[in-house]
Chains A and B, each alone.
Chain A
Amino acid sequence: MTSGSVTHLLLVSSALFSIGIFGVLTRRNAIAILLAIELILNAAALNFVVFGRLMGSVQAQAFTLFIIALAACEAAVGLAIVLALSRTARTVWTDQMNLLKG
């Protein structure tokens, strides 16, 4: 595997991460934010795989499998929270969830 391809892969990963951060910071919809967080997680997982391939290690791929499993759990818990919130606040828009604001 050439260092050039590593660079490209890392660029993809960075792009994914940046898009995720951008989504988290700009989206108002709670579900959209959850999706953006998934992007960040996947960017991290891609980094694991890329650096594992570069070092010839299998452990990185195992980590990635765990990350995918964890991402599934996280998505389930996150969606449950969003569901509960939307029932309580009658909205999924985060800027309208201001119960604690004085």
Chain B
Amino acid sequence: MILGLIPGLPLAAFAVLILIGRRLGRLSAWLSVAALTGSCALTWSLAGDVLHGQRLAVSWAWLASADSLWRIGLAVDGLTWVMLAIVTTIGTLIQLYSIGYMHGDPRFSRFFAYLSLFCASMLTLVMADHFVLLYVGWELVGLCSYLLISFWFEKPAAAQAGRKAFITTRIGDTGLLLGILLLAFTTGELHFDRLEALREPLALHQPTILTIIGLLIFLGAVGKSAQVPLHVWLPDAMEGPTPVSALIHAATMVAAGVYLVARTLPLFTPQALAVVLAVGLATHLLAGSVALTATDIKRVLAYSTMSQLGLMMTALGLGARELAMFHLTTHAWFKALLFLGAGSVIHATHKQELGELGGVFRHMPVTAVTFLIGALAMAGVFPLSGFWSKDAILLATQPDAPWLFWCLLGGSLITVGYVFRLYLRCFHGPAHGHAVRTQESPPVMIVPLMLLAMGAAAVGGGGLRFVHAHHEAVNVSMLVASSVIAAVGILLAWQGVVRRRRFLPALAQPLAAGIYRLVSHKYFIDELYDRAIIQPFLRTTDRLSRFDLTVIDRTVDRAGLAGWSVGQLKDWFDRRVVDRLVNGTAEVVRVVSARGRALQTGLVQHYLFVVVGAAVILAAWVR
């Protein structure tokens, strides 16, 4: 019952808001916040049971069938509970913040209806104990992201971004659906709690199929979590309102992919895990380097999210489920914080290009300080949350993949670089004209920022106690390495951004310019897709359209003409033959009866004449 209420409350809020939201006005936001707060409270009330290792579950028959395949239910174990806590807690804070951010928007209540549905579907996805229910939540999350990214659909760019997100993730969704179907046809089992039991016989007898299932499921996660090569939608998704970006990046949308892989990790064979690892690492480094060159605040954050998700995928590729979830948790806090901080700046200055910003610190001290905390947490500075989770992943590579350790260390340096480049260019340095009227955001936006900052600072050390797997205490050498990386990264960013110093000797400048051009154009991946997929597709559809117009349409026209001619013939036959037969019959009757009619003159004297005449003839004849 309680389990059903967790997704049920936001769903009910959605139903109310979508139906009568417009009449509720500002109240609609508070209704939505209250529903999610309820879910949050319920989640935390489960904490005691779950953290003692209990698995809570309810289920009911979905389709009446003897087969247990069609029982669905909700279940909460440790993994699910962590996700629930993230979604409800951070979701509540983001909704609270949205009240300030979306103030005065003409579709204010509609926005909160969508947010509620988004949270409800994410909670359904997370709590599902069954692949099919998970898929339902999965698709709903995709739908909500589409609705929210293109929320300001009057802007063509927003509408385009919504479509791009929907279509790109759909490629992944198709993979997930195929994976689910393949699993169902191979094993006849879709419940998550039996995956462990399924693994052994399947790995023994059909290892290839198991690998394919794992890869197909991973394809779904690649789409949802914006991993290479299906990452192109996430930066464009920045066209949506900033709270939506925060929600997508921290709690709901992209976390779903990581959660899916974590949940179905027993199905992944070593080969599949190697693919997960490779994709994760590629995304981590590629997105991180693009983030170094992006010039839009939100785009920097978008690429940083991709990069961090890549790190989580890398951890999953190592088989370290707890570490991935741990990093997901800490990331959710500091990324939500960074996005909402960026939103606060955008809300106040109406600018989001880094070139037009600067020196905001003086005008918005609370936003700046909380943003700095988020940046430090993300950079992995001891003892903020990012340090604990990131270093745990770095440590997990140690025994058997030292090259990976150095790659991830490089990734960490990139992370520190871009997040401090962002912070310094936005909050320090010269102001660019906007500063005159800039002032701090209202309390309804500031309070969530402060709460998130506290979380971003504290979650790491507190959460570490629940990650038993790899290390218990602080690893000193790791601490030193991480601090050095953070310090070097911050220093480089300071030198590059504030002092505007060039690092490279003049000789290397052309090469560096070439690399910069490559990276700042996002490795030309969008252009590649345009050339390799979209344009050929358009050309093909164009040709098909012409084929349709010339060949098929003409055939159809001919067929129509033939039908018309036959119809004409039938018409002629009908008029000339059938109608004439009918009319002729009637005419014969009319002509014959006309003779009879002539007898009936209606004049008594005529009748009388006949009578008299007959009498005379009779008399003459009788005589």
- Inter-chain contacts of A94 with B (CB < 8 A): 603-605
Proximity bits, B570-605, A CB within 8 Å = 1, else 0: 000000000000000000000000000000101111
User: Quick check: B605 and A24 within 8 Å, CB to CB?
Assistant: yes
User: Quick check: B608 and A24 within 8 Å, CB to CB?
Assistant: yes
Of the A-B pairs whose beta carbons lie under 8 Å apart in the complex, a sample of 15, sorted by A's number, is A21-B612, A24-B605, A24-B608, A25-B605, A25-B608, A25-B609, A25-B612, A26-B605, A94-B603, A94-B605, A95-B603, A98-B602, A100-B602, A101-B600, A101-B602
- Inter-chain contacts of B609 with A (CB < 8 A): 25
How many A-B residue pairs lie within 8 Å, measured between CB atoms? 16
Chain A residues numbered 13-33 whose CB sits less than 8 Å from any CB in chain B: 21, 24-26
Determine chain B's interface SS by DSSP, over half rule.
helix
Proximity bits, A63-102, B CB within 8 Å = 1, else 0: 0000000000000000000000000000000110010110
Q: How many residues of A contact B (CB 8 A)?
A: 9
Cα-based distance from A24 to B605 in the complex (angstroms) = 7
Closest to B613 in A: A25
Least CB distance from A22 to B in Å reads 10
- Inter-chain contacts of B600 with A (CB < 8 A): 101
Closest to A21 in B: B612
Q: How many residues of B contact A (CB 8 A)?
A: 8
Cα-based distance from A25 to B612 in the complex (angstroms) = 9
Chain A residues numbered 31-86 whose CB sits less than 8 Å from any CB in chain B: none
Determine chain A's interface SS by DSSP, over half rule.
helix
Known A-B contacts: A25-B608, A100-B602. Give 7 more (CB < 8 A).
A21-B612, A24-B605, A24-B608, A25-B605, A94-B603, A95-B603, A101-B600
| Cβ-closest 4 pairs across A and B | A101-B602, A25-B609, A98-B602, A25-B605
Least CB distance from A16 to B in Å reads 15
Least CB distance from A94 to B in Å reads 7
Cα-based distance from A100 to B612 in the complex (angstroms) = 23
- Inter-chain contacts of A100 with B (CB < 8 A): 602
- Inter-chain contacts of A21 with B (CB < 8 A): 612
- Inter-chain contacts of B612 with A (CB < 8 A): 21, 25
Closest to B601 in A: A101
Cα-based distance from A47 to B22 in the complex (angstroms) = 113
Least CB distance from A36 to B in Å reads 11
Least CB distance from A90 to B in Å reads 18
Cα-based distance from A91 to B604 in the complex (angstroms) = 16
- Inter-chain contacts of A26 with B (CB < 8 A): 605
Cα-based distance from A64 to B353 in the complex (angstroms) = 138
Least CB distance from B604 to A in Å reads 7
Cα-based distance from A26 to B606 in the complex (angstroms) = 9
Least CB distance from A89 to B in Å reads 13
Cα-based distance from A24 to B607 in the complex (angstroms) = 11
Cα-based distance from A25 to B602 in the complex (angstroms) = 14
Least CB distance from A57 to B in Å reads 26
Cα-based distance from A7 to B35 in the complex (angstroms) = 133
Cα-based distance from A26 to B603 in the complex (angstroms) = 11
Cα-based distance from A37 to B608 in the complex (angstroms) = 13
Cα-based distance from A70 to B605 in the complex (angstroms) = 24
Cα-based distance from A98 to B604 in the complex (angstroms) = 10
- Inter-chain contacts of B605 with A (CB < 8 A): 24-26, 94
Closest to A99 in B: B602
Least CB distance from A100 to B in Å reads 7
Cα-based distance from A88 to B548 in the complex (angstroms) = 79
- Inter-chain contacts of A24 with B (CB < 8 A): 605, 608
Cα-based distance from A21 to B612 in the complex (angstroms) = 8
Least CB distance from B378 to A in Å reads 105
Least CB distance from B622 to A in Å reads 18
